[in-house]
Structure 1
Amino acid sequence: MRNLGNVLITGGASGLGAATVRAVREAGGVPLVIDLARPEDGVESVQTDLADSAATENAVRELAERAGGLDAVFTAAGIDACGTLDSVSTKDWERVVHVNLLGTAAVVRAALPYLERGHGTVVTVASTLGIKAVSDATAYCAAKFGVVGFTRALAAETAGRIGVTLLVPGGMHTAFFDNRDEQYKPGPDAKLNKPEDVARTVLFALSQPPGCQVREMVVCSSEEGSWP
């Protein structure tokens, strides 16, 4: 198993990202965070809006230069905008795609030169709604289906140069659902995973030795309703 080294984590101030920050620290790695909010104390970070691709690429380079390189990237940041296509504003709809898909691409693009120096690893975050479409989630499904395609193409393009893993998580007990209308929040009996459990699967993918790849992982509650 390989040492984690410097791990860049988007969305590292909350939810799965924050859980992964803690897991990386506990395993002896160094988390570096890009988020609109500040992560926990003692974590190097740059506050950046992932909807701004140029600013995102600059943030990646700034953190990489500060830390002396990158060994891994985990793209945990994500947002949604629930509602029918004609009820979600164009601005909100497109922001979901910008943050979830274009933000992921911007981070990986900027990180590639650093990762290639040490055969580092990228773990992208799709969703069970990136492989199964549902109503009232056109923006989120479009973005996450895009992440699936982007990651598979990236793996083909960079084979032998870096590691690439696609994480497909189900719902988790995080603040992700907090600002939704009640009809779009998980019910009181919803079966959701703990983010710290999913974070451990991320570390498993990042810890594989060079040449050994965990290409894709579906990690969800045993009673997840959106998979399969």
Structure 2
Amino acid sequence: MDDSPLKDRTVVVTGAARGVGAALATALARRGARLALLDHDEPALEATAAALPGTTLALRVDVADGEALHAAAEAVRRRLGPPSAVVANAGIAEGGSFAESDPATWRRVIDVNLIGSAQTARAFLPDLIRTAGYHLQIASLASIGAAPLMSAYCASKSGVEAFTHTLRAETAHHGVAVGIAYLGWTDTDLIRDADRYAALRELRAHMPGPARRVQPADIVAARLTHAVEQRRTAVYIPRWLRLTQLTRAAIPPLVLRATRRTLPRLETEQLVHPTGLLGPGGHPDRTTTPGG
């Protein structure tokens, strides 16, 4: 669209093969952006890129691999020009009790969601300083209120929230804007996979009504695209999530009270065993080594 500030600008999206990343890529392409799409699931990434109009560069990259990210950044600036916006969207999840979790899988969630987000910023920050650009970090309701049976995911999303605030403070004087997006439940393959597990279904079922509703990915992508265009400091999807910032100190006691009633039964029924990485986005981890 001719009136979009993203027209003919280079925009990077990580975790772009499917889900929110793919929907966001579609929305950004319609706004006329030149897209660099990064993901470590090459077949799905190429399928997403092939369906988009305009100029698109698809790069197989594991965000947990810092060297690969720096090589990707060089390829993006060489082939599309320095990015004006970067969306750190790549993320994975695992369900189940922390005590029974596999340490390597637990660490992999942290490496992708937290370390990978920081390494994405590190790789592209020189470009964003050059273009006085915008960095958007995809966070979660889990950044505000941690939930049982999702310890690695919640820890990583709390971490990216703190990292984003720090990055914003350190780069503002360079003209770089840094935003954070708090997403609720979104209709993706990851969420649909999580719903196959009784304990995770109950986790969502015991949340307050508005908090357990699932948002369509294209609606989420439209809001995120607007946030990139407006260089927003924070975006909440759905909008009511903003209210949780006012009451976040009260959330852990409420979660504790609810889970004291629910978890004993789930443990008795043996429903809290680790799920492994959820969704098809985690499938490449089962066939390739981390960072490969």
TM-score by length of 2: 0.70
Instruction: Give the Cα–Cα distance (whole angstroms) in 2 for the partners of residues 156 and 150 of structure 1.
Output: 10
What does 1:81-120 correspond to in 2, within 5 Å? Answer: 81-120=94-133
Work out whether 1:206 is the aligned partner of 2:228: yes
Maintained 8 Å contact 2:136/2:180: yes
Work out whether 1:177 is the aligned partner of 2:199: no
Q: Secondary structure at the match of 1:87?
A: coil
Indicate which of 142, 159, 169 corresponds to 2:172.
159
Residue in structure 2 matched with residue 53 of structure 1 by the alignment: 66
Instruction: Give the Cα–Cα distance (whole angstroms) in 1 for the partners of residues 95 and 66 of structure 2.
Output: 23
How big is the shift at 1:221?
A: 7.5
> Which has the larger share of helix?
2
- Unmatched 5+ stretches in structure 1: none
What is the identity, as a one-letter code, of the residue corresponding to 1:196? D
**Which range moved further: 32-41 or 107-116?**
32-41
What is the identity, as a one-letter code, of the residue corresponding to 1:191? R
Maintained 8 Å contact 2:37/2:49: no
Work out whether 1:21 is the aligned partner of 2:14: no
Instruction: Give the Cα–Cα distance (whole angstroms) in 2 for the partners of residues 80 and 149 of structure 1.
Output: 19
Instruction: Give the Cα–Cα distance (whole angstroms) in 1 for the partners of residues 177 and 4 of structure 2.
Output: 12
What are the Cα deviations for residues 129-169 of structure 1, in whole angstroms up to 9, with x where unaligned?
01101111110111000000000000000013211100000
Maintained 8 Å contact 2:185/2:191: no
Q: Secondary structure at the match of 2:108?
A: helix
Instruction: Give the Cα–Cα distance (whole angstroms) in 1 for the partners of residues 104 and 78 of structure 2.
Output: 33
Instruction: Give the Cα–Cα distance (whole angstroms) in 2 for the partners of residues 70 and 174 of structure 1.
Output: 27
Q: Let me know the Cα RMSD of the aligned residues.
A: 2.2
What is the identity, as a one-letter code, of the residue corresponding to 1:46? L
Instruction: Give the Cα–Cα distance (whole angstroms) in 2 for the partners of residues 97 and 222 of structure 1.
Output: 27
What are the Cα deviations for residues 170-222 of structure 1, in whole angstroms up to 9, with x where unaligned?
011111124435122466x95111111111222222212xxxx5211221276
Q: Secondary structure at the match of 1:33?
A: strand
Indicate which of 26, 32, 49 corresponds to 1:40.
49
Instruction: Give the Cα–Cα distance (whole angstroms) in 1 for the partners of residues 100 and 236 of structure 2.
Output: 31
What are the Cα deviations for residues 46-78 of structure 1, in whole angstroms up to 9, with x where unaligned?
111222222223222222322111110011111
Aligned length: 222
Seq. identity, %: 29
Work out whether 1:192 is the aligned partner of 2:225: no
Maintained 8 Å contact 1:126/1:166: yes
TM-score by length of 1: 0.89
Indicate which of 83, 96, 116 corresponds to 1:70.
83
Maintained 8 Å contact 1:71/1:118: yes
Q: Secondary structure at the match of 2:107?
A: helix
Maintained 8 Å contact 1:170/1:221: no
- Unmatched 5+ stretches in structure 2: 248-292
Larger Rg: 2
Instruction: Give the Cα–Cα distance (whole angstroms) in 1 for the partners of residues 113 and 223 of structure 2.
Output: 20
Residue in structure 1 matched with residue 5 of structure 2 by the alignment: 3
